[in-house]
Amino acid sequence: MQAALAWTILSAFWTFGPAYVPNSAAVVVGGGAPIDGGRTWRGRRLLGDGKTTRGFVGGTLAGLAAAAGLNALAPLLSPALPTFPPAAALGLSGGAMVGDAGGSLVKRRTGRRRGAPFPFVDQLSFVVGAVVVTLAVAPTWALSTFTPVRLTVVTLATPLVHRGSNRLAFRVGLKDEPW
């Protein structure tokens, strides 16, 4: 029973590994010009200064590298672990960045300033983006890999992982706020 639960959790995190990496990498490699170019909509910024082209591209590339690394490890660990064809790797990593940007758009539309907490949107927008984009670019892979159990594990565990990783990034000076 415990081994089955551990395997379920491991395979869920493995499946979403290429989506977990981009946001952290974007914090490290980001900076520069904002994606929205300073544009506003109805008096508010579209995305804000925190969403940059360098962060988006760097985060996506880091997610692709994570997928390649997981692909190399999968046969060594277990043939039951999913591997990531190029379209799925791009869907997960790029989709995570699209979802994160979408979360920022929602934050701006609801009047929240950059860095203000927005429970569930902050923690899960990248997961939603990764799932939606991957379903669009690699539907067969996504439908066979995004099982209800894996989606449930990721949805329940991600807010906890997000909170812990953000606190760590805050403590080492990579983030301005601990959420």
Q: Is residue 178 part of a domain?
A: no
In the chain, what percentage of residues exceed pLDDT 90?
76
The string of DSSP letters for 19-87 reads HHHHHHHHHHH--SSBTTTT-EETTEESS-TT-BHHHHHHHHHHHHHHHHHHHHHHHHH-TTS----HH
Number of domains the chain contains = 1
Domain with 87, as residue range(s), is: 17-145
pLDDT digits (tens, 9 = 90+) for 86-122: 999 999 999 999 999 999 999 999 999 888 889 899 9
Q: Is residue 31 part of a domain?
A: yes
Residue 8 domain-assigned (yes or no): no
Q: Which helix (H) or strand (E) holds 5?
A: helix 2-15
Per-residue pLDDT tens for 53-87? Answer: 999 999 999 999 999 999 999 999 999 999 999 99
The answer to whether residue 160 sits within a structural domain is: no
Residue 167 is encoded by which pair of tokens? 């606190």
Residue 164: what pLDDT?
A: 85
